[in-house]
Amino acid sequence: MNAVPGDTTKTLERRFQLLVDAVTDYAIYMLDPTGIVVSWNPGAQRFKGYKESEILGHHFSRFYTEEDLATNLPRRALDTAAREGKFEAEGWRVRKDGTRFWAHVVIDPIRDAGGSLLGFAKITRDLTERKKSEQALKESEERFRILVQGVTDYAIYMLDPEGYVTNWNAGAQRIKGYSEKDIVGRHFSQFYTDQDRASGLPRRALDTAVREGKFEAEGWRLRKDGTRFWASVVIDPIHNDMGTLIGFAKITRDITERRQAQEALQQAQAALFQAQKMEAVGQLTGGVAHDFNNLLTIIVNNLDLLTRNARDPRDVKLIESAQRAAERGSKLTQQLLAFSRRQPLQPVSHNPNTLIEGFETVLRRACGELIALKLSLAPRVKWISVDGPQFESAVLNLVVNARDAMPNGGSLTIATGDVTLGDGDRTAASLQPGPYVSIIVEDTGIGMTPDMVERVFEPFFTTKEVGKGTGLGLSQVYGFVTQSGGHIEIESEPGKGSRVIMLLPAQERGEEPTESDVAAERTARDSAGTVLIVEDDPSVREVASDIFDSLGYDVVTATDAHEAIAVLEGAAVIDVLFSDVIMPNGMNGVELSRRAREMRPNLKILLASGYPMSALPSEGLGAGVSFISKPYRWTELSEKLRALRTGG
């Protein structure tokens, strides 16, 4: 039996109504052409709170807020649906209890077969939770944006996948100098140096970030004005939820000051290490020189005593040859003492230009014919307090070294000038701030490698061939400059010559001071008298005894200070105390001298040492005390004793 068409239509309508009634996530209802509600499903009741009996026959505008009613939004929505075939929007709607929810609304016109408007189908969905999530996300993004924009110590900005800048924070503008409108849309590689761009570093940075999840490095970057700054850079890739690369987050920090501080610390540590090394070598060198002077004293004086009795010309010739060798050894010890800053200096105020011009002839002769010597002496340069002969020797040493570095000829310049060191000046970290005079010796020779420059002042270190240098020339210069309160350094590169800079403390006044005579009452003696010789080295003590004996003295000896004090306590007459300075058993020659003066105020004292008196604690010894350097000769000893007797 075939179904009646009318029954089929009713069946479909019932099924459709059952479908609509089963939907609870959407409000689905009908409006007549004027907006009156004519149907209502359970979803509408759940969203809006109205039962079907409460809402049928009422206008749908009651679901709208007062703000929307004021703009006549319900009427406009129906008009739009009728005119355009659909109205779709999102907005706040009102429930029966007055609370609001965020709704997604679709209104479709319903027409009959003839096109006449029968009403509207309205579907509403509650999107309040999604709206809250979006709003929370928007607020979070806004807070993050404000945070990023508020950061001024870091450049924080985004790049697209190709490296073009897409946003820009205040820190980026402060560090790099570009405003947002200057830089957005431009490639980030313009922040890199020419060398880094040529090597492809910007592209490699992005590739590394994608491949490894991060790129982190430090390097030079450019500001808008072309100046450089040392940057710490981090680049992180940004992927969307599907894992697709959508760009990069780039954070840059200007750490130029930190890098400068690290460099300054490293330089200070290197300078300290070098100073400690040179000081240790100096102490060792000074000790060796002192012991060597003891040996030379024995050799020289024995040779002198042999000379006085030698008659055979062959013997005289052999003795003279040995004496020349001993003199060379003495010069070596003096150079070693100069390096260890234990040479006796007699500083006097000098105009450095006058000193250099005074022995210019010697300097030109030392240069030879292949070297062009040029003096570039600053006018009205400040004066310096130095030992003149030692200053000349130091400059001559530098000239000779420069000459040897130019075997095929070249040019050599000696320049002077005034220099003022400030508190932050790292040129010479060992010097106090203040005025200095610079003496520069610059050549066009073969130059030196960095490791050579680091060791060049060490004694016996030389870049010359075997047999062509002792390695003590620059050591002597180093010792003289540092002992004079100055600083010396060398700038050199292989193939680009060398530049030696000496800085010596400048004097405030420029006139040569008059040396005051320090006179004291001294008792003159016509006879030689008795000498007490105090020396722990038996060989040196024996030589000294022979010399004093040959000079007419009665000799009494002691091996250390304690024996000497015992002699002074018991002996009737002691005219001269001749003592080594460095002795064992706890009391040195200077301390012995003070004790001896307390016991015998008129005692004449002569101290001998391989170290200079300036390096010894000689305060409080007073008049009648003299000093002789080892190795001494009997003629020098005789002159010292004569000066003590006459008070000269």
| 80 lies in the same domain as 108 | yes
- pLDDT, tens digit, for every residue of 450-472? 877 776 766 545 555 544 444 44
Neighbours of 646 (CB within 10 A): 11
Q: State how far the Cα of 70 lies from the Cα of 117, in Å rounded to an integer.
A: 26
- Please choose, from the candidates 213, 208, 165, 166, the residue with its C-alpha nearest in 3D space to the C-alpha of residue 190: 165
Examine residue 389 and state whether it is found in any structural domain, yes or no. yes
Q: State how far the Cα of 449 lies from the Cα of 465, in Å rounded to an integer.
A: 16
User: How many domains are there within the chain?
Assistant: 5
| 275 lies in the same domain as 249 | no
The CATH number of whichever domain residue 464 belongs to comes to 3.30.565.10
- pLDDT, tens digit, for every residue of 129-157? 887 777 766 666 566 556 555 556 788 88
Examine residue 609 and state whether it is found in any structural domain, yes or no. yes
Q: What is the mean pLDDT of residues 536-556?
A: 83
pLDDT value for 511: 42
Q: What is the mean pLDDT of residues 12-25?
A: 57
Examine residue 31 and state whether it is found in any structural domain, yes or no. yes
Examine residue 500 and state whether it is found in any structural domain, yes or no. yes
Give me the domain span that covers residue 51: 5-128
| 62 lies in the same domain as 189 | no
Examine residue 522 and state whether it is found in any structural domain, yes or no. no
**Residue 212, token pair as written in the block:** 């490894």
Examine residue 164 and state whether it is found in any structural domain, yes or no. yes
- Identify whether the C-beta of residue 95 lies closer than 8 Å to the C-beta of residue 48: yes
Q: State how far the Cα of 181 lies from the Cα of 167, in Å rounded to an integer.
A: 9
**Residue 560, token pair as written in the block:** 């250390």
Q: What is the mean pLDDT of residues 278-298?
A: 57
| 436 lies in the same domain as 356 | yes
**Residue 551, token pair as written in the block:** 């000079």
pLDDT category, 514, cuts 50, 70, 90? Answer: very low
- pLDDT, tens digit, for every residue of 491-512? 888 888 889 898 999 986 544 3
| 495 lies in the same domain as 602 | no
| 237 lies in the same domain as 283 | no
Q: What is the mean pLDDT of residues 170-183?
A: 86
| 397 lies in the same domain as 495 | yes
On the question of pLDDT at 518 being above 50, the answer is no
The CATH number of whichever domain residue 93 belongs to comes to 3.30.450.20
Which tops the pLDDT comparison, 6 or 636?
636
Statement: the pTM of the whole predicted model exceeds 0.85: no
Which tops the pLDDT comparison, 57 or 277?
57
Q: State how far the Cα of 44 lies from the Cα of 24, in Å rounded to an integer.
A: 7
Q: Which of 296, 330, 364 is the last residue of a domain?
A: 330
Examine residue 444 and state whether it is found in any structural domain, yes or no. yes
Radius of gyration of the chain (CA): 50
| 201 lies in the same domain as 311 | no
| 503 lies in the same domain as 393 | yes
On the question of pLDDT at 647 being above 50, the answer is yes
| 551 lies in the same domain as 424 | no
The CATH number of whichever domain residue 574 belongs to comes to 3.40.50.2300
- pLDDT, tens digit, for every residue of 311-364? 777 777 777 777 677 666 665 555 555 444 445 556 788 899 988 887 787 788
**Residue 256, token pair as written in the block:** 């130029």
Helix residue ranges, H only, 442-495 = 450-455, 473-483
Residue with tokens 């005789």: 638
Give the max Cα distance, the chain. Answer: 170
Q: Which of 128, 143, 169 is the last residue of a domain?
A: 128
Q: Indicate the SS3 state at residue 153.
A: coil
pLDDT value for 207: 93
| 278 lies in the same domain as 249 | no
Neighbours of 204 (CB within 10 A): 13
Q: State how far the Cα of 428 lies from the Cα of 436, in Å rounded to an integer.
A: 11
| 271 lies in the same domain as 250 | no
Examine residue 634 and state whether it is found in any structural domain, yes or no. yes
Would the CA dihedral through 515, 519, 525, 529 be positive or negative? negative
| Non-local CB neighbours of 559 within 8 Å, separated by 6+ positions | 534, 535, 536, 541
